[in-house]
Structure 1
Amino acid sequence: MASKVLSRVRPTTQLLGRSWQNFSRTAATAAAQKKEGDISDAFASLSGMQFEPLEPRFKDVKARLIAGHEQAVHDSWNRLLASLREEISVISKLGSKVIPEIDFKDIDDASPEFRAEHKKRGVAVIRNVVPESEVLGWKDELRSYIKANPQTKAFPPDNPQVYELYWSPAQIKARAHPNLIKAQKFLMEFWHSRDPNALVSSSHPTMYADRLRMRLPGDAKFALGPHVDGGSCERWEEEGYGRGKVYDAVWKGKWEEYDPWESSTRLPVVSDLYQGVGACSMFRMFQGWLAMSNTGPYEGTLLVNPLLNRATAYFLLRPFFSPKVAAENTTPESYNETFLDPNNWQLDLSNSWLHGASLGHGQELRPFLHPHLNLTSSMVHVPRVNPGDYFSWHCDTIHAVDSVHAGKSDSSVMYIPACPLTVANAEFMARQRACFLEGTPCPDFGGGKGESEHVGRPGAGDVEAVNPVEGMQAFGLREWDSDVPGLTSGQREVMDRANKMLGFYD
């Protein structure tokens, strides 16, 4: 194993001094920042772009994907439409009740019912992960940090709802909190790998520095419609998700065999081929946020599509089909059964459409582009949450934001995804650690000075004060211990490789 041939450097506690400055400079100069921007640059719709066919090469990309499986794909499309109709009927009746919930104190002994529903739906609420009083204290700290640093960028600039903050004291405390890390482990262990030696460990969360939302009543500008993060065009491209053959079952007309919980195929994936502002480079098994307010449906919160494998298969296959007879009315609510009927849809490889996808932006979905998803019925609100509740959704899950915040108080969350330890994630952590120490934005997001001149910005010692072992490891500030009993050979190797990438081994 790698640990047997790599020599270790000084103890971790000595790395909190001058040597961190060296790590910071080295990694910061190794990769250029992305252009400056905010959350609007991550999505075509928020950037004022229109959905349209892509460059002609994508016509050939589509043809290559299903070559030799055209009839099987056509047959699978018909099966998928029938299954969607049945499942959406269930979801529309249950609404938010379809989302499984569990209390943090019960995650060590989760019921079979919760586990089954979570595997099927890909979304969950974990209640009481952090005490409410502690989270409300963090929210007060955030307000003070923002007030002390009026130069902080936000969207929209005239009435901020989403702040370009990555390194505030509150975010540091939340990401390193022992309960949050334990919740992330619990969620990531729903994943598995067909390759027993795969270089991935879902038992060792790594930190990804995302932003925060403090949405105010009446806001209608942060109206982000249904979308999927983790790239868009990349899901169809050979050099994107094709590297791991993630969706091969779908391309062969066997969407029922697609396993959204298989991790080894995700390891080679490149989800950001176009250096998009806000396009995620890390493998996030789950996206998630920690609630900082009491927020319910229509109060500026999140909606999700709990279909997981069926919805994924649909938006992947949609570009391969077109209606024989177009809808009489372009208003999705008026689509009739004749238009939606499988017999009205044919395999069509004559165009370069990747419906809702655009270079360098997230994958977006719309009723007129994805009519069979019946998004008005299949998108359901997150149940009412309280400060300290953690909501998570699988990385393929379609999600959206309330178009209008119709509540009476703020709708506030810190975005904190769950990321496993992988070789690629470790490489990203090295760059991200440099940004943390320098105060510049997370490498995936818009560049610039960020918080480098912010008053009250925390450092490595603040992480250590919260969680001196797992918290520091998640931030890339302490080496992983690959000698712990019970690890697989893949876990040991990925830990040793990560330690070398992070500079803990010579």
Structure 2
Amino acid sequence: MVSRLPSEIRALFSTGRRTLATSSKYSVAAAPLQKKEGDISDAFASLSGLTFKPLEPRFGDLKRRLVGGNEEALHHSWNRLLESLREEIPLIAELGPKIIPQIDFSDLHNASPEFRAEHKKRGVAVIRNVVPRQEALDMKQELRDYIAANPQTKAFPQDNPQVYELYWSPSQIKARSHPNLIQAQRFLMEFWHSKDPDALVSSSHPLIYADRLRMRLPGDAKFALGPHVDGGSCERWEEDGYGRGGVYDAIWKGKWEDFDPWESSCRLPVVSDLYHGVGACSMFRMFQGWLSLSETGPYEGTLLVNPLLSRATAYFLLRPFFTPKRQASDPSTESFDRSFLAPNNWELESEPSSWLHGATPGHGQELQATLHPHLDLPSSMVHIPNVKPGDYVSWHCDTIHAVDKVHAGKSDSSVMYIPSCPLTVQNASFVARQRHAFLQGLPSPDFGGGIGESQHVGRPSAKDVELVDPEDGSRAFGLKAWESEAAGLTAGQREVMDRANKIWGFYA
């Protein structure tokens, strides 16, 4: 029902339908505050020229609280983890890209048990042919045309753009709303589960998260983003961050094997952007992902991942609690003494330091061979397999990933970043802010502020979303109400739909 809505909102509904009109004046509330202006370099310490160092003393106190009373169990857990890494990493190094599970879009309804098991373990997947090849190539050309028509577009680096501060181009709108892409996201998110049957989360109803795009050119070495994890950094240890849901409690208690990276209800209260960082994600993304617009292979400006999901997560979270008894040379050098990695060379800090290795407030979590030596990053970071236009690549929100240091290929490596986000109350609130930004042409709320694309020629409207997919695509954008009375929904799904509809202004 739309009665009792403010007149300026009510006037924007199409007659007799619970769907938004295309007016750019729509706003449920006042325009949301923007983050400071910036680009992708502001999201990571290494791209910003910062160095990793001890943080404020309060982080030492935080570490003490996290593991207090569990010190002995934590030490035994650490040793078991190191043993497991020693077993798993050689297999990854041997198989390389072959270790990444792959499936064709046409087979999603009949995914094999082998694919499902490997995907659960690895947290990474390539879904082939999600968008028809020519359609994906047309999207790339349309991107080029949009950029050419709007030379004022911000990008990194400024002298030779590779990553564009674009969120509302025609191609991005078409890709995010594409029925095949939404189906692929639903397939992936249903690998998640909730221990609370009434949790206000639905992995069957994807929401849009507007992210950037890259068009990386041969020879580029500036967009050399090393191993990192999205979704905050310090927040993973902080009580007011991931601690709100106890996401990693099993790890802090010395039971890393009990950590379930696929449990969703514990992630609902999480605050992943405590520092309002440029590019720091505040939405619950079950998976990060991108749609390929090019044919690329290893070393051609593509993605590398660490397919050790639960083990790698446990390691980078526990690393700040342990220190070596004897130092060694750089782990990435040939002269490195492997005995440095032996469990008997590592001990729990007697007095917790303020180090959170690779974490900097307001920036993404980064990993380095010198800071995280047991992960053997040169061996455990593997390229994804060759991809073609229209393939979709996804990785779990805790997955360590990176990009090629140098694009050694002969053609562009272009992708649109399109993560998979479930319907939750917090996500619905973000989408309300994002919808305002879309209709005004402003940058997506998590990213650098400014005028964005508000003056861009050829910027799409809400009507363009409806043309791609008037049902699920429009709902994912927050442009149409969910049908909470549809058959087959759980009580939790019905409630979260109703709450989202109210947040979006469809209910009084």
Question: TM class by shorter-chain length?
Answer: over 0.9
Q: 1:159 to 1:69 in 2, by over 3 A?
A: same
Contact persistence 1:12–1:478 (CA under 8 A): no
Q: CA deviation at 1:341?
A: 0.1
Contact 1:332 1:371 in 2 (8 A): no
Q: 2 CA distance for matches of 1:62 and 1:502?
A: 39
TM-score under structure 2 length normalisation: 0.96
- Residue of structure 1 aligned with 2:474, choices 472, 479, 495: 472
Matched residue, 1:373:
375
* Residue 15, structure 1, aligned to residue 20, structure 2: yes
> Given the superposition, is the C-alpha separation of residues 424 and 329 from structure 1 closer, same or farther in structure 2, using an over 3 Å criterion?
closer
TM alignment of 1:64-143, pairs within 5 A: 64-143=65-144
TM-score by length of 1: 0.97
Q: Deviations over 1:453-499 (max 9, x none)?
A: 00000000000000000000000000001011111111000000000
1:291-328 superposed Cα distances (whole Å, 9 cap, x missing partner): 00000000000000000000000000000000001114
Alpha-carbon displacement from aligned partner over 1:387-435 (angstroms, at most 9, x marks no partner): 0000000000000000000000000000000000000000000000000
1:70–1:361 Cα change, 3 Å:
same
The aligned runs of 1:132-211 (5 Å cut-off) are: 132-211=133-212
Separation in 2, partners of 1:164, 1:366? 27
CA deviation after TM superposition for structure 1 residue 21, in Å: 1.5
> Which of 447, 450, 463 is equivalent to 1:445?
447
**CA RMSD between the two structures:** 1.5
- Indicate the residue corresponding to 2:494 in structure 1: 492
Matches of 1:6 and 1:382 in 2, distance apart?
52
Contact 1:290 1:416 in 2 (8 A): yes
Is 1:222 paired with 2:227?
no
Q: Is the 8 A contact 2:182 2:206 kept in 1?
A: yes
- Structure 1 residue matching 2:218: 3-state secondary structure: coil
Asked if the contact 1:177–1:466 (Cα under 8 Å) also holds between the matched residues in 2, the reply is: yes
State the 1:338 CA deviation. Answer: 1.4
Q: Which runs of no fewer than 5 residues in structure 1 stay unpaired?
A: none
Question: Which residue does 2:394 correspond to in 1?
Answer: 392
Q: For residue 327 of structure 1, what is the aligned residue in structure 2?
A: 328
In 2, Cα distance between equivalents of 1:218 and 1:14: 46
Deviation at 1:334, TM superposition (A): 3.3
**What does the per-residue CA deviation read over 1:157-182, in whole Å, with 9 as the maximum and x for residues that have no partner?**
00000000000000000000000000
Counterpart amino acid of residue 410 in structure 1: D
Q: Secondary structure at the match of 2:25?
A: helix
Q: Which runs of 5+ in 2 are unaligned?
A: none
Q: Distance in 2 between the 1:162 and 1:84 partners? A: 34
SS at match of 2:20: helix
Kindly state the Cα deviation for residue 332 of structure 1 after the two structures are TM-superposed.
4.8
1:101/1:328 Cα in 2 relative to 1: closer, same or farther (>3 Å)? closer
Q: Which residue of 2 aligns with 1:347?
A: 348
Aligned residue in 2 for 1:412: 414
State the secondary structure of the residue aligned to 2:423: strand
| Aligned position for 1:298 | 299
Please list the CA deviations of residues 110-130 of structure 1 after superposition, one character each: whole Å capped at 9, or x if unmatched.
Answer: 000000000000000000000
* 1:146-204 per-position Cα deviation (integer Å, ceiling 9, x unaligned): 00000000000000000000000000000000000000000000000000000000000
User: C-alpha distance in 1, partners of 2:367/2:199?
Assistant: 33
Alignment of structure 1 residues 450-465 onto 2, 5 Å = 450-465=452-467
Aligned residues: 499
Letter in 1 for 2:172: Q
Q: Distance in 2 between matches of 1:7 and 1:439?
A: 25
Q: Is the 8 A contact 1:286 1:417 kept in 2?
A: yes
Structure 2 counterpart of 1:125, which letter?
Answer: V
